[in-house]
Structure 1
Amino acid sequence: MQTESVKYWTLKRILGYVLILILMPVTLMVSWHFGDRKYYLCSLILIVYSIIPFLLSYEKRKPQARELVTIAVMCAIAVASRAAFIMLPHFKPMLGIIMITGMAFGAEAGFLTGALGAFVSNFIFGQGPWTPWQMFAYGIGGLLAGLLARKGIMTEKKRIRTAVIGFLIILCIVGPLLDTCSVFTMVTNFTRASVGAIYMSGLPVNIVHGVATALTLLILCKPMMEKLERIRIKYGMMGEEDEI
C-alpha cells in the first residue's frame, strides 16, 4: 500500500510538472498567435494551471483554509513589495518574496505565488500581453527556489549563497523568459541580430532585478523563514509529505 501511495504521488507530481513546463509555454505561444487582446484569457488559464499543481502537491489531504490564507498573504506582500519601489525602475524585491514563499512552503506554492503576484500587481503597473509571460517567469522563480530549498541548497542559514543563487536565477532564467516576451511582442522580422539585440538590451534590466532579489533574500530570508516555519509547525501546515 505504501508503494502504491508513493507511485500515485509521483504521478501527481509529474502531472504538475507537465502543466507548468509544457502546457503553460504552449498556452503562451497559442495566445501570442491569436493576438495581443487574448492576454486576459491566457492569464486566467495560467492561474488555473498554477492552482492545479498546488492542489496536487497534497498527498493525503486537501489544503486547509489557513494554508490558502497564508499563500494569499504572501502574494499580497509580494505585490506590495513591487508597488513600494514603483519609483525605482526595475528594482523590484517581488521575486525575493516569491522565492521565500517557495522555500518555506514548497515549489508549487512558490509557483502559485509568483503567477498570482504578477497578475495582481499588473493592475497597478498595467496589464498587457506581457502579463502571462511575467506570470510564468515569476512562477518559475518561486518553483526553482522551492526545489533548491528542498535539496538544502537555498536555506536561510546560508544567506549569502541563497542571495547569489537568487541573483543567478533572475539573470539566467527569469530575466531571459521576460526578454522572450519582448522578442515575440516587439520583433516582427526574426533575425539573429534583432533577437540578440532584445536579449542584450535586457541584460542591464535583469542585473538590476537580480540585485533587488539578492538584497531581499539577504536581508529578509532569515527573519521571514523563521516566522513562516513557526506558523507551519504551529498549525501543521504544508508538511514535508505535501511538498515536491
Structure 2
Amino acid sequence: MPEKPQQVWELVVDGHAHLVEVHGRASRRVEWYVDGELVGTKKSTDDRIQVTADGERDLGSVGVLFSGLGKPRRATYFDPGQQGDLKSLAGVGGVDLVPEHGSAAAAYEDRLRAHPTRYALLAAGGGVAKVVVPILLAVLVARFAVAIPWPDWDLPSIPTPDLPSIPWPDLPWPSISWPDVSVPGWVEWLLDKVKYVWPIVLAIVIARTEIQRRRKQDELRQQRQQRRDRPASAPEDDTDPA
C-alpha cells in the first residue's frame, strides 16, 4: 500500500500540471510531479526545502516552507528564469500552488485570509513568549538551585608547583588617552530594552509581510485561472456578404 502524503499542492502553470507532495514529519521528503511524471525529489530536515528538476529539462524549481513545528505551510513554483536567483533562494516571488482541499495547509490559508489581525496578534504573542519564557525558566532554575540543600564537600587542596618567573622585557607602550564619552540615560535604557523588544517587532513584521504576500498570491492565482478559462477568440470573417 503506497504511503499517504502528509500534504499535497496542485497548480496548472503554462499548461503543465504541477503537483507537490510532502512525506514524513521529522525527516521530510518532498516529491515534485509535472504532468504526472516525477521530476524531482529531496529529503531534508530544513524548514525550507528547494527541489529542482532532475535531468536536462529546465523546468524551474519548487520551494516548500514548513513552520517551526514542522507543519507544511506552502509550496511555491519558480519558473526557470527565477531558478537560483536571490528571490527564489529567499522564498520571495514565484506562484504558490493550491493546497489540497480540507488539508492543514488549506485551513491555515483560510484562517490567514479570514482573520489577518488575529494572525498578527498571535505572531506578536509568539514573540512575547520568546522573551518571557526564557526569563521564567531562568528564574525557576535559580530558585530550584538555591532551594536544594547541596552537601558541603571538603575537597583536598591540590598543590601547585612553584614555577620560576620569566623575565619578560619591559617594552615601551604608547600612552593613549581615550575621550570620555557618555551617552544620555534614555539611550542606555533603550539599548538595555532592545533585546526584549526586537523578537516581538520581528514577529509582527513577518506576520504583516505574510498577510500581504497571501493577498498578492491570491491575485496571481485568480489571474492564471482567468487566462485558463478565457475562450479563444473567434477568427475574424473578412469576406463580404453576398
TM-score normalized by the length of structure 2: 0.31
The structure with higher relative contact order (CA 8 Å, sep 6+) is 1
TM-score normalized by the length of structure 1: 0.31
More helix by share: 1
Larger CA Rg, structure 1 vs 2: 2
